[in-house]
Structure 1
């Protein structure tokens, strides 16, 4: 791996609000940042193999998408304007049952392409055929936390367990350390107590966490209360799920006791505002979670329920939604929202060396071109990134010290081929109905 020097950009380190370097420079050796500061701060012994001119750019940590289902890009715009359970039962699950290996491959490649183009450097995925997903991650250059979705009430529940074990044992730490893994029980309403307990034991034995949907809809609340007399959070806690590290997606319908449990058990939350709005699932009490000290990251959910994987857009939606939900224009200010999309997202995935620009951290960086009319005048850079910037402003993406997009051109895959093959797969799937 080579040494890279980025010079002349304004550096948003995301360590704290005022940790900004104008006319800054960042030195990268291999996959790690070795220095970040004003121009001239790079150690004298550092020799760069490549110098990137960041003039007119803002460099910041790459976005961390804490919850998605990658290959569902093939289902984008297939089933819209429906409630969640009808959407799943009548449209999504029947079509997923017809998906072939090539569909998972090209659907995931399309997801990876879209994420790189919009500045995401790390994502958490829960889906099927995860070997193919892992291969796509390896090829694309992205960083990912992968889990095989497991539905405990399904006919293939045991197969899902076996495939999950295989994923963890074969892919944890692979792709140069870019791939980590979790177990992925789908949700409280699809995983009975004994199944959950089995998954918890497996996660503990393999020293990995759990990625699960939690308290997404009112229907889920009613179902779990009717079956067990508990909230989904209480149900998971009672069955020991929170005794291992947990990434809880959505967490829309929570009471004060639920939030206290999440904090006590150090559960990390993946907030998906646009999917929750589109499916009319509700609004997560993000401000209450943050006030309680719960780590909250951001996720897009799938392209079938969003309908894109644009984390810049998701960050804006998260900030605006909390303002209107609380009636407080100061709720979730731009810096806090951007921390959720980067630093806190990495913490939510248990990645301690991702999400900040400082020595020792992984070199996962994006360069945003601020030479655009909608990014002038430059009063507040955080506000510009969250409220004004567009993903098309992202010029360069660096992951694990490697340039994977430069000048808006993705270097790790053939963009036209990915889009062409994904369209062929989607046409065949829909044509089989």
Structure 2
């Protein structure tokens, strides 16, 4: 049977268990799956497939996996860049509270369009996003032909939204969106983090996870020193102990950041089969504590924990580039520790197969092997910056950029072909975003122009911040800190 797509004469970076690299390779795709990966035959003919791609001067590799992200405020890229940390956090929290109340839907919808377009152009075929109102994102990414995990965030010490309402939203989203768009869109359960959620929320999350046993549980974990303090305030020994107490420390858990994990945390995470999403750029940009340790990714991987890369809030650090995350991971770890923390191939694996495994779909995507879904990208490396083309993995993680992505295939379908977007109207997306940002600026008094951006005055921001939840959060942390410092 003829293939649907044949890619011939390409440099094929398979990212399989042996990290095989074909210097002149062929990849065949039929009915959405990879059917063959091999050396190109001398007598290879164009008649073998419906669509044949000449891979000369191209690197073929698995699609990139963005294992942890937030997408709703994408149109505000550049708006937060030059704020100080507290101003950025306050402005962001006020906006998310209003989004939760149903405001700014026009901005959210435009944001999902823009995120899908830019990730598609940059070779990101799968995202895992935690947002306030993710329905628009699920539809947008599904219609764009991309693969996505989406879930509404839940927190009772960050927002003033009743828990019953938050869990009703989560259930409604799961019922509406899980396993839709030919299975490319999946729902997740998203308690926000281990420092702004009560034990009651975690217990209810465990009940919801038991009701939907095939869903990923996606959260921020061990991100801050306050993580373990809040866990003790929640009557647990520490953060992982709390999750273990309620029955959530298992192979369905994907934990973003993991910055303050110690050796015992790593051992327990590995034993549970849980996974981690490492987001180096956002913390390199907004590091709240210069003395805080860096995420112990080498130790996690040595222990057998799957670690993928996440771009997190890309509008906080003005980059859609997953290639940039790999480079930043290397540079930050080397500065914080010593040189040689990663090999280039390890970083490639974290961009692809390990991110897929962290999401529980490593048997479906993440490497170029027969039987897997055809999520594949082609990089144009016939350029001066890639000359000479030695050490392809190093070029990918140190030198490649979204602009080098020429073709993107998801589930065996073209979403980007020869630089042309097949599933979205790029011009219409840009126009929609520009109108949305103009309207947002008019409604909120944010100053957004070519020279930069600044939020409304402090009084206006304070007025929009949630009140009850954060007050409880701060008081809990304060009381527990006093207890921790008191003699036995």
Give the TM bin, normalised by the shorter chain: over 0.9
Number of equivalences: 430
Partner of residue 348 from structure 1, selected from 352, 358, 373? 358
- Please state if 1:91 is matched with 2:88: no
C-alpha offsets along residues 337-359 of structure 1, whole Å, 9 cap, x if unaligned? 11001000000000121101010
C-alpha offsets along residues 384-417 of structure 1, whole Å, 9 cap, x if unaligned? 1111222211111111101111222211111121
Which residue of structure 1 lines up, in the alignment, with residue 54 of structure 2?
53
The 8 Å contact of residues 71 and 313 in structure 2, kept in 1 or not, is answered as yes
- Please state if 1:129 is matched with 2:130: no
The 8 Å contact of residues 302 and 309 in structure 1, kept in 2 or not, is answered as no
Partner of residue 116 from structure 1, selected from 120, 124, 130? 120
- Secondary structure at 1:49's aligned position in 2? strand
Which residue of structure 2 lines up, in the alignment, with residue 71 of structure 1?
72
- Secondary structure at 2:437's aligned position in 1? helix
- How far apart, in 2, do the equivalents of 1:59 and 1:48 lie? 17
1:365 Cα deviation after fit: 0.5
- Secondary structure at 2:423's aligned position in 1? coil
The 8 Å contact of residues 33 and 359 in structure 1, kept in 2 or not, is answered as yes
- Secondary structure at 2:319's aligned position in 1? coil
Partner of residue 336 from structure 1, selected from 338, 346, 353? 346
- Of 30-39 and 406-415, the range deviating more from structure 2: 406-415
1:16 Cα deviation after fit: 4.1
- How far apart, in 1, do the equivalents of 2:8 and 2:333 lie? 36
Larger Rg: 2
Which residue of structure 1 lines up, in the alignment, with residue 269 of structure 2?
262
TM-score scaled by structure 2? 0.83
Which residue of structure 2 lines up, in the alignment, with residue 248 of structure 1?
255
- Of 96-105 and 223-232, the range deviating more from structure 2: 223-232
- How far apart, in 1, do the equivalents of 2:54 and 2:169 lie? 45
- How far apart, in 2, do the equivalents of 1:183 and 1:274 lie? 25
- How far apart, in 2, do the equivalents of 1:18 and 1:308 lie? 28
- How far apart, in 2, do the equivalents of 1:190 and 1:148 lie? 15
- Of 335-344 and 68-77, the range deviating more from structure 2: 68-77
- How far apart, in 2, do the equivalents of 1:25 and 1:179 lie? 29
1:402-421 equivalent positions in 2, closer than 5 A: 402-421=413-432
Which residue of structure 2 lines up, in the alignment, with residue 29 of structure 1?
30
The 8 Å contact of residues 308 and 355 in structure 2, kept in 1 or not, is answered as yes
1:375-390 equivalent positions in 2, closer than 5 A: 375-390=386-401
1:142 Cα deviation after fit: 0.7
Which residue of structure 2 lines up, in the alignment, with residue 148 of structure 1?
152
Partner of residue 304 from structure 1, selected from 315, 319, 322? 315
The 8 Å contact of residues 95 and 429 in structure 1, kept in 2 or not, is answered as no
1:428 Cα deviation after fit: 2.1
The 8 Å contact of residues 374 and 389 in structure 1, kept in 2 or not, is answered as no
- Secondary structure at 1:294's aligned position in 2? coil
- Please state if 1:107 is matched with 2:116: no
Deviation beyond 6 Å, 4+ runs, structure 1: 41-44
- How far apart, in 2, do the equivalents of 1:194 and 1:219 lie? 18
The 8 Å contact of residues 257 and 276 in structure 2, kept in 1 or not, is answered as yes
C-alpha offsets along residues 214-263 of structure 1, whole Å, 9 cap, x if unaligned? 12123444444566464333332233221461110111111112112211
Q: Cα RMSD over matched residues?
A: 2.2
Distance of aligned partners of 1:381 and 1:192 in 2 relative to their CA distance in 1, 3 Å threshold: same
- How far apart, in 2, do the equivalents of 1:210 and 1:417 lie? 35
1:81 Cα deviation after fit: 4.9
1:73 Cα deviation after fit: 0.6
Which residue of structure 2 lines up, in the alignment, with residue 161 of structure 1?
167
In structure 2, list runs of 5 or more residues that go unmatched: 445-488
1:294 Cα deviation after fit: 1.1
- How far apart, in 1, do the equivalents of 2:247 and 2:88 lie? 30
- Secondary structure at 1:148's aligned position in 2? strand
